[in-house]
Structures are given as structure tokens and as C-alpha cells.
Structure 1
Amino acid sequence: MTLNRRPVASLWIGEKLHYINQLCLKSHLLHGHPVTLYCTDKVTNAPEGVVIRPATEIMEIDMALVEATSASFLSNVFRYKMIRKTGALWIDCDAFCHKPFPDEWEYVFAGHGMRGALNCGVVGLPVQCQLMDMLLDYYDNLPDYPAWWGKKQRKQMDRNTEKGGLSHAAAIYKTERTAFGPQAFTYFAQQSGDYDKAMTPDVLYPVPFQLNDVFFDPYGRVEGHFTDATVSVHLYTNGTKPWWRQNPPLKNSYVARMCDQVGIDPAQALGE
């Protein structure tokens, strides 16, 4: 395959990819995007053509903090440091490439779901820009409370902190999981004046998170959510029911059809 489009990259914390992750990474290769997967461990089941690099090339990964929060917490920091260092487009490992990303797209992000907030599952930013500076400063110099929190969240965080045993970052995460992901991205895009650069949800997140079971429904009409502008399809593995992680997708479901199209055998990389 000819890899002559803009490079994309992601992070994997763990030793084994699930078949959905294999599917999504390979889909970018098939559309001509060089794919780099930064890893904390030795990953042996990445699709052929995916370049494996140590995550430490971008930043040190605090595994104790990962244990106290989640892999997604560190990925929220990692993606911006990766973009600044390499200029690659960030893709979550559950973002399926429907069509190639145009090279001329400088700001790549969109709203998602049914609430209108921005998501950061697929992100492209100029290496030097105010939004990037704000995001990195937020993660490197965490405030007492995120600026957009109200009294309810602040009181809840105080209770989490009083319980002891949590770092400041973990206490914020335990109070509101998305405070390091979509909430932060949305707030700082507003502050930098870049919020209006957001693409419409159909470009990157055509199916709302609340409807993610449709990907596994053999009678679902996933493509009914797509438009001519759709480039990426987020599969939302953080909301996938355990059954679909531990069993192959049903024949004719969107995920099963895409596995056939891309050449991924789900039975070889099921969850435990």
C-alpha cells in the first residue's frame, strides 16, 4: 500500500490490541495514512504496517497515575505533546477511517453526541497555536479546580480529596472523568477563539455516543448517520458492552462488515 497522506498516531497502554483497535488502525493504513502507535508495553498484535514506537519518545507515562485513573487520562495529555513534537494527526484507537483526511485541514476537531460539546478523539492542530499552549499549560500546571467547574463539582472534589490517597490529578479525574478530555478541550477552544473552527459532528462522530450499540446490530442502519462529509467514524469502545468485547460481532453488523472489508479476524483478538 502507498502511504503518502498525512501521518496519524495514537497511544496504547497495555500489551494486546482488541480487534476493534486493529480494525481502526488498519483502516487508516488502507487510506494511505502512515500510522504510528506509541506503546508502554511490547505489543505484538498490531496490524502489519503500523509503526510501533515507545511512548517515552513523547513523554514519561506515570503508570501509578494510570492505575488511579484510566489509560484515557494520560492519553489526554499525550495527544497534545505528540502533536507538538511530531505534527501528526491524533486518532483514538477506536476511530475508523471512512475516507482519507485532507492534507489541507489544519484544525481537525468536531462536536459529538447530543449535547454539543467538542470531542478530542480525533485532533489536528497547528504545532504552534494558542489552543495548544493553553491545553499543555493546563495539564502541566493543574489548577486547584478546573475553571469551568461550579460549586457542585468543587464540593465533590473536596470530598474526594478528604478521603486521602489520591493525587491532585486523580482527585479531579474522580470528580469528573471528562475534565481532562472533552470538557477541557471545549473550554480552552472557547478561550482561544477556536471553538468556531469545529467541524459538524457528521465529519468525525456521525453516530452519537448514546447510540453506539448500533455498530453491533445486524439490522442497524449505521450508514444512515453518514453524510458526504463523513471522514471518521468513532466506535466508542469506552461505552461498548462487555459482550461485544468478548465475542465476535454478528454477521452483517457494521463492525463485522468493516472487519471483512479491512481484513481483520475478530476471533483472534477478543477481550478477556
Structure 2
Amino acid sequence: MIDPGLPTVHAFWIGGPLGPMQVACLKSLVRLGHRTVLHVYDDPGDAPSGVELADATNILPRQRVIVHRNGSYSLFGNIFRYKLLTTGAEIYVDCDMYCIKPLPRRPYMFGWESPTRINNAVLSLPVDSPILGDLAGMVDHPERFPEWYSWSKRLRFGARRALGQLKGFENLPHASLGPPLLTHLVRKHGLLDQASAQNVFYSNIEGQGTLLDPQRSIADLIKPDTLAIHLWRGSLRKLSFADVPPTSPLGEILAM
């Protein structure tokens, strides 16, 4: 049942069925009482009960979709979440965030994934904030290099662009519009005090190794301040879910 006192959570999916892990993560949001909206260009066919599907073309037309040179949609996912937040969406979450406790309503929500980098897998920014203006402006101009790039990197990629080897964002390094850009802009706008501690969203720094350990449980990943656990879907891309140990943290999550 939706708790009207909780913020609406928005997610984005592109590229076929969600799969068991993403389904479990979206279920966790619904179970905690969040109104959960999944923005899609096509119905994935396996969205869990309680998740509302929204037409992603209301945020960005299908023609704007970018497939990175490595075949991933994650770079476009960064673009989509920034544009989504400009419409007034309260909180964006990646589909591989497993929620432990309800997410609070805060004007700023993002967290450290390491001592030096802020991740954008959970993101809330005021619609009129300068940082969101910078993010939205950046992704609307594929001819620009991300603001966090060093001068040496700008020169290197500028030379490639001059030779016709580089066109839009899809030819830039994979994480160009993700955590490095957000971290740079959080520093630029003096918002470091708004970043949640690593344990809040990114306690599972070991990724696949922890999630598949049959001697560990979800409880081992939860600290007193943990709100959600990032499952790092990229590290599990080749995983057969039939091989997940049922007593492992991921096994527990899939059984929820």
C-alpha cells in the first residue's frame, strides 16, 4: 500500500525484460510504501505488481537514446535521470538498488560510493538548483566535454574529434556523465555536506563477491544508517540466476 507520507520514487529501464534482480529491487520499494514509477520506452513485460509504468518519451524522445560503443545504455541512463529530475520528480533510483528502509524526502540526496567519488544511483536535486541546471545543460550539448575533464583529457579527445574519430557522448569513456561528473559538480556548488556516508547506499563495495557468498546474509551488508544496497548490476551481467546460492545475500533478495 502506498504511504502518502513518503516521496515518489522514479526509475528508468530500457532493453528488454527487467530480470529477477531488478524485479526484486523494485518490489522492495513497493513493499516499503513508496509510489514507484518506472519510465520505459517499451513494456518490459515483467514489472512487479504495484509499479506504475510511465512513457519515457514524456522525458526524452526515443530518438535521443544513445547506445555506448560498449553496447550499454548506462550512459544514456545518466542523461535520462538528469532530465527526469528537471520535471520535478522527487527521487531517482537505479533498478539495482535494493531498499532496506523507506527513503526520506530530502531536497538533496546522493551518497559517497568511495572516499573520493559520489554515485548517482540514488539522486534527488531541487528542480531550480544550480547543480541540476549544470547537469541538464551538460547532457543537452554532446559537442561539449564533461566539465570534470582535465585539460590534458580535453586536448586528447579534442584531437580525436578533429580527426572525425569522436562524435557524441557515445564515443566518450563510459562513466563520463555519471559519478565523476556529479562528484565534480557537488564540489563546485559547495554541496559536499549533503552527501550521505558510504554505508547509506553503497555498503556493498565488494560487489559480486559479497552478494554470492553462501556464508553471508543481507544482514552482513546492513549498517545502522543503511537505507539501500547497491547491487552493482554491471558486475553480475553474465550471472546465471539459477546458480545463485539461496543462502547468499542475493539469494535472499531474489526470494523476497
When the two structures are superposed, what TM-score results if normalisation uses the length of structure 2? 0.90
Shift in Å at residue 195 of structure 1?
A: 2.3
**CA deviation map 1:190-243 (0-9, x unaligned):** 1111122101010111111x443211111135533422110010000012251x
* Structure 1 residue aligned with 2:248: 253
Residue ranges of structure 1 left out of the alignment (5+ in a row): 263-272
The code of the aligned residue for 1:26 comes to K
The code of the aligned residue for 1:192 comes to H
Are the aligned partners of 1:14 and 1:39 in contact in 2 as well (CA < 8 Å)? no
The code of the aligned residue for 1:76 comes to N
* Structure 2 residue aligned with 1:81: 83
* Structure 1 residue aligned with 2:180: 183
Q: Does 1:9 align with 2:10?
A: yes
Shift in Å at residue 149 of structure 1?
A: 2.2
Report the 3-state secondary structure (helix = DSSP H, G, I; strand = E; otherwise coil) of the residue aligned with 1:10.
strand
Shift in Å at residue 55 of structure 1?
A: 0.6
Give the Cα separation in 2 of the matches to 1:188 and 1:48.
Answer: 37
* Structure 1 residue aligned with 2:231: 235
Are the aligned partners of 1:87 and 1:126 in contact in 2 as well (CA < 8 Å)? no
Q: Paired residue for 2:214, among 189, 214, 218? A: 218
Richer in helix (by share): 1
* Structure 2 residue aligned with 1:138: 138
Are the aligned partners of 2:147 and 2:181 in contact in 1 as well (CA < 8 Å)? no
How large is the RMSD of aligned CA atoms in angstroms? 2.2
Shift in Å at residue 95 of structure 1?
A: 0.2
Q: Paired residue for 1:197, among 194, 199, 207? A: 194
Size of the aligned set, in residue pairs, is: 254
Give the Cα separation in 2 of the matches to 1:254 and 1:135.
Answer: 34
Identical-pair percentage? 25
Give the Cα separation in 1 of the matches to 2:192 and 2:240.
Answer: 34
Give the Cα separation in 1 of the matches to 2:207 and 2:48.
Answer: 28
The code of the aligned residue for 2:110 comes to F
Report the 3-state secondary structure (helix = DSSP H, G, I; strand = E; otherwise coil) of the residue aligned with 1:178.
coil
Map residues 1-272 of structure 1 onto 2, 5 A cutoff.
1-4=1-4, 5-62=6-63, 65-66=66-67, 68=69, 70-103=72-105, 105-113=106-114, 115-142=115-142, 144-150=144-150, 152-154=152-154, 156-158=156-158, 160-161=160-161, 164=164, 166-172=166-172, 176-208=173-205, 210-220=206-216, 222-240=218-236, 242=238, 244-260=239-255, 262=256
Give the Cα separation in 2 of the matches to 1:107 and 1:52.
Answer: 25
Give the Cα separation in 2 of the matches to 1:84 and 1:91.
Answer: 15
When the two structures are superposed, what TM-score results if normalisation uses the length of structure 1? 0.85
